Amino acid sequence: MNDQITRLEQAREYLQKYYGYPDFREGQRKIVESILTGGDTLGIMPTGGGKSICYQIPALIFSGLTLVISPLISLMKDQVDGLLTMGISAAYINSTLSGKEVNERIRAAKRGELKLLYVAPERLELDWFREEMNSLEISCVAVDEAHCVSQWGHDFRTSYLAVYPFVNGLPKRPIVAAFTATATPEVMDDMISLLRLNKPSVFVTGLGRDNLAMSVLRGENKREYVLKYAMEHSHQPGIVYAATRKEVDDLYERLRDSGIPAGRYHAGLSDREREQSQEAFLYDDIRVMVATNAFGMGIDKSNVRYVIHFNMPKNMEAYVQEAGRAGRDGEPSECILLFSPQDIMTQKFLIEQNPQDQDRKRNEYRKLQQMIEYCYSTQCLRWAMLDYFGEAHDHKPCGTCSSCTDERELVDMTRDAQIVFSCIHRMRERFGVSLVSSVLKGSKNKKVLQYNFDHLPTYGMMRERTEKEISELINTFIAEGYLALSEGQYPIVRLQTLAGDVLKGQHQVMMRAPEPSHSSGVESSYSRRRRSAYDESPSAVNETVFEQLRLIRRELAEKEH
Ligand code: ADP
Ligand code: MG
Ligand code: ZN
């Protein structure tokens, strides 16, 4: 026990001496403590939370070597350079080195001169490498970005499966410490079982960084919004994520044309171009980086003031990871998601394009659905996020997210809810949002007539609204938990217990109206922003969807990996 205390003191001393930080962050101390006690550890922390230190500091205290499994070559180099500058003996071995350089590093490790050695997981599959490692004292194997071991995650990488056989083949089993920012139950289960963590201590911390103001904006003119925002924040670093390369190129050019120092990053550019714009961003030669999701893993830029999502990402994990690149220094920063319903179609299309088994597909649809619910959520977005990741929170609204700052009044929507729910009930809970909307609108489309839905009592009961408005309303009821969607490409809307209570008149539905209330006479800028959702004409929307799908199909065809 005493020994434990002194080791922790030692850890803090090293933190001050090498890194110059006064103390561990919330969460780091517990993880370091757990690793120092010799137990397998799973540390889940948001991007920028400070995972590296959690294994680097114990590495300094352990007598042998800490082998770090890291997915990206560029990331390894940055980390090792950083460590060397601080005076910590570290090295990496990867394909950019000559055979001679590799041998030198292995010899240094054998002489006990290295505290940390970084390798990519693929290396663990090489016989000669395993043999070399067998003759070393390895005290700890740190698995960075450990969610890559799971097929449920968003960056599955087969070679992560080589970690367990590698560890198992070592003469003495080291401590295994795994780190990620992904905290969903499936991925957690996978990390524990596929890495065969031995009774691990699991730590989940700080997903809801309170310096981040989260917003979801629906119905914006996205291009104008991005240009205006970047212009108003032209002195601050920011990232704009878009779904396609074409969109990235387009935004990039528009920003440039407006005189904003912008860079771009996507898989269609040469390695050199990508490297250049990454550097330019890191060193503040450009302000805003327009990129696909290919950009960002392992980027250590602490002063990113905003992350704008031009399109809705495929799931909450991806969103949190990307949005979490804002405000790593703890200063107030903004994460803005520009949502439009066509993003849903894009993501569904991507799921369908990707050859995979039914189980995984269903899982992806489920996650997409949760992402959509987040976008329609009217509760505090910080809660919604913490709830999703199963993190405890104090039920205090954050006060900064777009739900918390929504100025629209809460209105009694019970009657609308009753109409919608009874319509769904009469349609026997067998159809999706769009057909329910058509029936409520009173359209005479083929499907409505085919099922005789024009004879239902609820037929046309929302005639005064557009089908799009009705769908938005239904989506809001879904996000609020009154309704649920089945899984799959064509999800069916079903009533939940709460909807039954509403139908029986036992529950009042108080919501922010999907349309701005005109009662006050003065329209807030926020409601104006929301209302523009209805300005886009449906045919224009369809055209862009079509165009977007065509592009994605082409990009997928030429996707290099
Ligand atoms: P992650 O891997 O979780 O995304 P990093 O390990 O790259 O995060 O750390 C993110 C940033 O936080 C780095 O700039 C790091 O130096 C800084 N940092 C980590 N721990 C502390 C600490 N205890 N005090 C101050 N800054 C810290
Ligand atoms: Mg990291
Ligand atoms: Zn909030």
Strand partners of residue 557: none
Measured distance between the N- and C-terminal CA atoms of the chain, rounded to whole angstroms: 49
**Is ligand 1 within 6 A of the CB of residue 321?**
no
Cα–ligand 3 centroid distance for 29 (angstroms):
28
Query: Residue with the nearest Cα to atom 20 of ligand 1?
Result: 50
Ligand nearest to the CA of 56: 1
94: left (phi over 0), alpha (psi -120 to 50) or beta: beta
Query: What distance in Å separates the CA atoms of residue 374 and residue 119, rounded to the nearest whole number?
Result: 37
**Is ligand 1 within 6 A of the CB of residue 309?**
no
Query: What distance in Å separates the CA atoms of residue 140 and residue 434, rounded to the nearest whole number?
Result: 54
Cα–ligand 2 centroid distance for 187 (angstroms):
17
Q: Is the pTM of this model over 0.80?
A: no
Task: Kindly report the three-state secondary structure assignment for every residue of 387-422.
Answer: HHCCCCCCCCCCCCCCCCCCCCCEEECHHHHHHHHH
Structure tokens that stand for 379 in this block: 């509760």
Query: Residue with the nearest Cα to atom 15 of ligand 1?
Result: 50
Sign of dihedral through CA atoms 139, 145, 148, 153? positive
Query: What distance in Å separates the CA atoms of residue 214 and residue 332, rounded to the nearest whole number?
Result: 11
- Nearest-atom index, ligand 1, CA of 19: 16
Query: Residue with the nearest Cα to atom 24 of ligand 1?
Result: 21
Query: What distance in Å separates the CA atoms of residue 392 and residue 547, rounded to the nearest whole number?
Result: 42
Phi, psi angles (nearest 5°) of residue 309:
-100, 115
Reported ipTM: 0.97
Query: What distance in Å separates the CA atoms of residue 329 and residue 497, rounded to the nearest whole number?
Result: 44
**Is ligand 1 within 6 A of the CB of residue 147?**
no
Tens of pLDDT, residue by residue, the chain (561 residues): 566 668 889 999 999 999 998 888 878 998 999 999 999 999 998 777 789 999 999 999 999 999 999 998 888 888 999 999 999 999 999 999 999 999 999 999 999 999 999 999 999 999 999 999 999 999 999 999 999 999 876 678 999 999 999 999 999 999 999 999 876 778 888 999 999 999 999 988 766 678 899 999 987 899 999 999 999 999 999 999 999 999 999 999 999 999 999 999 999 999 999 999 999 999 999 999 999 998 987 677 889 999 999 999 998 888 988 898 898 788 899 999 999 878 988 898 888 888 777 877 888 888 898 899 899 888 899 888 887 776 666 778 889 999 999 887 778 899 999 999 999 999 999 999 999 999 999 999 999 999 999 999 899 999 999 999 999 999 889 877 789 888 777 889 999 888 888 888 888 888 876 544 333 333 333 333 333 333 333 344 444 445 555 665 566 555 433
Strand partners of residue 333: 212
**Is ligand 1 within 6 A of the CB of residue 52?**
yes
- Nearest-atom index, ligand 1, CA of 25: 23
Phi, psi angles (nearest 5°) of residue 336:
-120, 125
Query: For the CA atoms of 22, 25, 30, 36, what is the dihedral angle to 10 degrees?
Result: -50
Position of tokens 């104090």? 394
Structure tokens that stand for 426 in this block: 């009469």
- Nearest-atom index, ligand 1, CA of 47: 4
- Nearest-atom index, ligand 1, CA of 23: 23
Residue 493's H or E segment, with its range, is: strand 493-495
Query: What distance in Å separates the CA atoms of residue 126 and residue 117, rounded to the nearest whole number?
Result: 16
- Nearest-atom index, ligand 1, CA of 15: 23
Query: Residue with the nearest Cα to atom 19 of ligand 1?
Result: 50
Write the DSSP assignment of 113-136 as a string of letters.
--SEEEE-GGGGG-HHHHHHHHTS
